[in-house]
């Protein structure tokens, strides 16, 4: 996967423009969502959102933030510093990684070396942080995001980091590594490209007015 780095601060206007119509790491879990029959609502809504963004050339992502999101933003620098202190590894910040091959990209929280490794920083509430500590592995709800980042960047690994300064000092930092597995990445890529092909077909259908009724019915469902 080849990519270009777009130097834009996360959640800035330039960052939203860079992500326009792209399948991003934060959307990976929705893209992979399944149900017993038919298409999961989260996957459908994501597909329609990307179609609309490509047609209007405007971001339609919700800019809503809640207390947990604000907490994560505020504590991210502390989490990065704690990770660097614990590992002895320097972490650089980067912009939006936009694929030069597909309408896809990612915004890693940190980069190690020349994209040899990535760091994903979380600062959850204490109960969730404790759950991560007790479970010990890569949290299932974040695995798609990490896989997407590895797919886009070509990195050898991504370290998932959970940080909670309210915990006793020795329990404040949790780090688990997801190493690159080419077979797993290939399977993820297959699903991602199939999803992107669906988005492209719908964009083409609307542009040619073919099947526009069905598309619009889904958009307002």
pLDDT per position as a tens digit, 41-95: 999 999 999 999 999 999 886 655 666 667 767 889 999 999 999 999 999 999 9
Between CA 113 and CA 103 the distance in angstroms is: 25
The pLDDT tens digits for 105-132 are 999 999 999 999 999 999 999 999 999 9
3-state secondary structure 145-194: HHHHHHHHHCCCEEEEEEECCCCCHHHCEEEEEEECCHHHHHHHHHHHHH
In this predicted structure, what is the pLDDT of residue 143? 98
Q: Are 145 and 110 within 8 A, CB to CB?
A: no
- The total of other beta-carbon atoms located within 10 Å of residue 46's CB is 21
Q: Are 132 and 174 within 8 A, CB to CB?
A: yes
- The total of other beta-carbon atoms located within 10 Å of residue 212's CB is 13
Q: What is the mean pLDDT of the chain?
A: 91
Return the CATH fold of 9-220: Lambda Exonuclease; Chain A (3.90.320)
Query: Is residue 164 over pLDDT 90?
Result: yes
In this predicted structure, what is the pLDDT of residue 208? 82
Letter string b/e over residues 103-120, b meaning 16 or more CB atoms within 10 A of that residue's CB: bbbbbbbbbbeebebbbb
- The total of other beta-carbon atoms located within 10 Å of residue 50's CB is 26
Between CA 191 and CA 7 the distance in angstroms is: 28
In this predicted structure, what is the pLDDT of residue 60? 84
User: What is Dmax (Cα atoms) for the chain?
Assistant: 60
Q: Classify the phi-psi angles of 137: left when phi > 0, otherwise alpha if psi is within -120 to 50, otherwise beta.
A: beta
Domain ranges of the chain: 9-220
């Amino acid at each position: 996967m080849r990519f270009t780095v777009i130097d834009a601060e996360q959640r800035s206007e330039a960052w939203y423009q860079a992500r326009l119509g792209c399948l991003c790491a934060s959307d990976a879990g929705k893209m992979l969502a399944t149900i017993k029959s038919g298409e999961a609502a989260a996957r459908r809504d994501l597909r329609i959102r990307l179609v609309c963004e490509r047609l209007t050339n405007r971001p339609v992502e919700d800019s809503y933030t809640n207390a947990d999101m604000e907490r994560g933003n505020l504590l991210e620098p502390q989490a990065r510093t704690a990770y660097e202190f614990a590992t002895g590894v320097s972490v650089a910040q980067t912009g939006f990684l936009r694929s030069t091959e597909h309408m896809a990209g990612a915004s890693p929280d940190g980069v190690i070396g020349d994209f040899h490794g990535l760091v994903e920083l979380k600062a959850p509430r204490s109960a969730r942080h404790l759950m991560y500590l007790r479970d010990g592995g890569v949290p299932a709800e974040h695995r798609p995001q990490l896989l997407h980042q590895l797919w886009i960047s070509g990195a050898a690994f991504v370290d998932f980091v959970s940080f909670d300064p309210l915990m006793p000092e020795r329990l404040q930092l949790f780090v688990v590594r997801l190493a690159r597995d080419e077979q797993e990445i290939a399977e993820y890529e297959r699903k991602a490209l199939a999803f992107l092909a669906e988005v492209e077909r719908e964009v083409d259908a609307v542009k040619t007015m073919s099947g526009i009724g069905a598309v619009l019915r889904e958009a307002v469902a």
